[in-house]
């Protein structure tokens, strides 16, 4: 029992982003997936905005030479906010 707990703790934490769009009224099922993210639902406009935000956030991390799993949650939140399209 103890050794299985130790093995789980020693394993690197894996994270992913999940984006949910809740404003779909046209019945179209929209799903976009990447290695570290999934975006589900939303109107065409919302789904596109969520996808753009997440892709630009991952590109920014890549330019900084950082992996998503190694970035601090606050840093990810700031990048998501920075890359959210404004109306």
Distance CA 49, CA 60 (A): 16
- In Å, the largest CA–CA distance within the chain is 53
Give the predicted TM-score (pTM) of the model.
Answer: 0.80
The answer to whether the beta carbons of residues 20 and 38 sit under 8 Å apart is no
Distance CA 63, CA 44 (A): 28
Distance CA 47, CA 57 (A): 15
pLDDT in tens, 11-70: 666 789 999 999 999 999 999 999 999 999 999 999 999 999 999 999 999 999 999 999
| Pairing state between β 37-41 and 31-33 | antiparallel
């Amino acid at each position: 029992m103890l050794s299985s707990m130790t093995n789980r703790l020693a394993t690197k934490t894996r994270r992913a982003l999940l984006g949910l769009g809740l404003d779909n009224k046209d019945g179209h099922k929209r799903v976009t997936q990447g290695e570290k993210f999934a975006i589900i639902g939303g109107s065409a406009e919302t789904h596109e905005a969520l996808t753009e935000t997440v892709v630009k956030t991952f590109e920014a991390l890549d330019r900084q030479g950082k992996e998503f799993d190694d970035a601090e949650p606050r840093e990810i939140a700031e990048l998501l906010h920075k890359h959210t399209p404004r109306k």
